[in-house]
A and B are shown apart, each in its own frame.
Chain A
């Protein structure tokens, strides 16, 4: 073989390898950091692979705001988000082909056991945040336009507080990192219950505020109109809302944490 031939062969091999990993059978799923940090996808995706051996799912775990922006640019095929207002806008702008509820859990406010701001026992999340703001306690915010961040801003708006100052710690990271930071700083934060439970053993934080109906956290799956793998996106959305996957979602966490982390609710609201 001449050197030129070897070179061509090498090039062909490289292209073959590269196209393997970006073939049309890949589904790009933009999802929230909570579903990744809690380990839900690790539990779900093997079952999807068994049901659809032709497809491979690549999960990009980002905040809901960013997930929708990725999708808007056509960089994701399907989105799993939990930011109802941002999703509404996304659908209204015609970026999504379909939007279906998948599951829900709830947000909780966690903080140090000592509860310096004395929010334990309060009935609604907005007054809890107002009390944190008026005490000397610190609050760690996602600060990244994620679904959790959007929910947090709703509560600040309801409470009529403009969060600012050294007590308000704005990090730009996922919920796992935020919980670690809140634990280290012994600060308060808003988190989905699932991620909190899955990380609880490493955290010096306890649930101080829960049960406010405004704390409900609904996850939806959206098929992106500009998807480069529209068939794959549809297949994934159908699969995750079908009984088999819904059952897996309902069982996730029972064994490891002794309780359900996400309640499946496809087809219901």
Chain B
């Protein structure tokens, strides 16, 4: 019990005193996972919108593939990104292995399916009559599409939160392609592993508290969005 309480007390001390080692790791985590989610949005929102609205043969398979992407094991993604980027791999010339770029690439692969899947569900939940009405009232195709996305915007924000929550707490892929290099590719999850193994529980707990706070914030946001939605939809369908 002493280890736990003492550790927590010291952990708070480290956070409040602005310990540079701890805060640098937190900043790197935000940079890597934030970057991955932004890239995930650029790919996931168009892909999800297209799959949600278009009707074509093989759409069912494509949707299934996107949903499978939600369950991609981070270590497997890490393995493939590692092999692609290693000196002997096809993209070895980029020199990305063991850099934050490699970590962003791996987490992008993990985040994009989240964004795509939630976007897909979100645009599907907006009644199609909305777009038809808009078109009837003289809106262009693009204006109608934007209106549609506007209706789904809360869900799209949930997509950001879900993607971010998934990658910020991921350890397998960033450990493999980043290498946990101090001051360069050490992020919260890999640092917690290392510091726990070295018996520096306070540092591990300080990072753990921040990581929990991020995961909580992301999920609290998603919950709020989910609860807010039914109320929003009623006037549209009536």
Chosen A-B contacts, 15 in total, with CB atoms closer than 8 Å, are A69-B198, A69-B199, A144-B194, A169-B98, A171-B179, A172-B180, A172-B182, A172-B193, A172-B198, A173-B180, A181-B98, A181-B181, A183-B87, A184-B86, A184-B87
Q: Distance (Å) between the CB of A181 and the closest chain B CB?
A: 5
Complex Cα gap A145–B87 (Å): 29
Which residues of B are at the interface with A, using a C-beta cutoff of 8 A?
86-87, 97-98, 175, 179-184, 186, 190-191, 193-194, 197-199
Interface-facing stretch out of A49-57, A59-67, A80-88, A126-134: A59-67
A142-169 contacts to B (CB < 8 Å): 143-145, 169
Report which residue of A143, A145, A184, A204 has the largest number of chain B beta carbons within 10 angstroms of its beta carbon.
A184
Q: Does A36 belong to the interface (CB within 8 Å)?
A: no
The 8 closest A-B pairs by CB, nearest first: A172-B194, A170-B182, A172-B180, A69-B199, A66-B197, A171-B179, A171-B181, A181-B179
Q: Does A25 belong to the interface (CB within 8 Å)?
A: no
B180 closest partner in A (C-beta): A172
Q: Does A177 belong to the interface (CB within 8 Å)?
A: yes
Q: Distance (Å) between the CB of B165 and the closest chain A CB?
A: 25
Q: Distance (Å) between the CB of A148 and the closest chain B CB?
A: 14
Q: Does A185 belong to the interface (CB within 8 Å)?
A: yes
Q: Distance (Å) between the CB of A138 and the closest chain B CB?
A: 11
Complex Cα gap A165–B70 (Å): 39
Interface pair A63/B197, CB less than 8 Å apart: yes
With A181-B98, A183-B87 as given contacts, are A66 and B180 in contact (CB-CB < 8 Å)? Answer: no
Complex Cα gap A177–B86 (Å): 13
Interface pair A184/B98, CB less than 8 Å apart: yes
A99-129 contacts to B (CB < 8 Å): none
Interface pair B197/A204, CB less than 8 Å apart: no
With A183-B87, A184-B97, A204-B87 as given contacts, are A144 and B198 in contact (CB-CB < 8 Å)? Answer: yes
Number of A-B contacts (CB under 8 A): 46
B interface majority secondary structure: loop
Chain B residues in 8 Å Cβ range of A185 = 98
Q: Distance (Å) between the CB of B82 and the closest chain A CB?
A: 9
B194 closest partner in A (C-beta): A172
Binary per-residue interface labels of chain A (174-210) against chain B in the complex, 1 for a CB within 8 Å, 0 otherwise: 0001000101110000000000000000001000000
Interface pair B199/A66, CB less than 8 Å apart: yes
Complex Cα gap A177–B190 (Å): 14
Q: Distance (Å) between the CB of B10 and the closest chain A CB?
A: 17
Additional A-B contact list (5), CB under 8 Å, known A66-B198, A170-B181 = A62-B197, A66-B199, A69-B199, A172-B186, A181-B181
Complex Cα gap A181–B185 (Å): 13
B193 closest partner in A (C-beta): A172
A170 closest partner in B (C-beta): B182
Complex Cα gap A128–B226 (Å): 62
Complex Cα gap A69–B198 (Å): 8
B199 closest partner in A (C-beta): A69
Q: Distance (Å) between the CB of B157 and the closest chain A CB?
A: 35
Interface pair B197/A169, CB less than 8 Å apart: no
Complex Cα gap A145–B196 (Å): 12
Q: Distance (Å) between the CB of B25 and the closest chain A CB?
A: 12
A177 closest partner in B (C-beta): B179
Chain B residues in 8 Å Cβ range of A69 = 198-199
B179's contact among A65, A144, A173, by CB below 8 Å, is which?
A173
Complex Cα gap A33–B194 (Å): 14
Chain B residues in 8 Å Cβ range of A177 = 179
Interface pair A143/B98, CB less than 8 Å apart: no
With A65-B198, A66-B199, A184-B97 as given contacts, are A169 and B86 in contact (CB-CB < 8 Å)? Answer: no
Report which residue of A63, A65, A69, A169 has the largest number of chain B beta carbons within 10 angstroms of its beta carbon.
A169
Q: Distance (Å) between the CB of A202 and the closest chain B CB?
A: 9
Complex Cα gap A171–B97 (Å): 14
A66 closest partner in B (C-beta): B197
Chain B residues in 8 Å Cβ range of A169 = 98, 181, 184
Q: Distance (Å) between the CB of A47 and the closest chain B CB?
A: 29
Binary per-residue interface labels of chain A (202-227) against chain B in the complex, 1 for a CB within 8 Å, 0 otherwise: 00100000000000000000000000
Q: Distance (Å) between the CB of A189 and the closest chain B CB?
A: 13
Q: Distance (Å) between the CB of B59 and the closest chain A CB?
A: 41
Interface pair B197/A144, CB less than 8 Å apart: yes
Q: Distance (Å) between the CB of B187 and the closest chain A CB?
A: 12
With A183-B87, A184-B97, A184-B98 as given contacts, are A171 and B182 in contact (CB-CB < 8 Å)? Answer: yes
